[in-house]
Amino acid sequence: KSVACIYGALSPEVREREAHRFAGGDADILVATDAIGMGLNLPIRRVVFTAVQKYDGTSRGTLSPSLLQQIGGRAGRFGHHDEEGVVAGLTPAEHRVVSSLMKAHQEPLEARGFQITAGSAYLEQIAEMSGDRRLEALLSLFLLHADCGDGFFTPHIPEEQLARAAQLDRMKNLSLHQKHVFSMAPMASQNETIDGVWRDWAYGANKGKTIALDFLPQSPRRASLEEAETTVRLLAAYRWFAYRLPELFVDLELADMHLAPWIAAVDGHLRSRRRQGAGGGRKGVPSWYWPVRR
Neighbours of 132 (CB within 10 A): 13
Give the single-character DSSP code of 248: T
As a whole number of angstroms, the longest Cα–Cα distance in the chain is 71
Extract the residue ranges of the chain whose pLDDT is less than 70.
Answer: 1, 78-83, 147-148, 273-294
Name the E strands within 53-174. 53-55, 60-62, 86-89, 114-116, 153-155
What local confidence, expressed as pLDDT, does residue 78 receive?
A: 64
What local confidence, expressed as pLDDT, does residue 286 receive?
A: 42
What local confidence, expressed as pLDDT, does residue 14 receive?
A: 84
User: Are residues 190 and 184 in contact, defined by beta-carbon separation less than 8 angstroms?
Assistant: no
In whole angstroms, give the CA distance from residue 223 to residue 162.
Answer: 34
31 bridge partner residues: 5
Give the single-character DSSP code of 75: B
What local confidence, expressed as pLDDT, does residue 281 receive?
A: 41
CB burial string 12-27: b at 16+ within 10 A, e below: ebbbebbbebbbeeeb
What local confidence, expressed as pLDDT, does residue 277 receive?
A: 45
pTM (whole model) above 0.85: no
User: Are residues 90 and 49 in contact, defined by beta-carbon separation less than 8 angstroms?
Assistant: yes
What single-letter amino acid sits at 36?
A: I
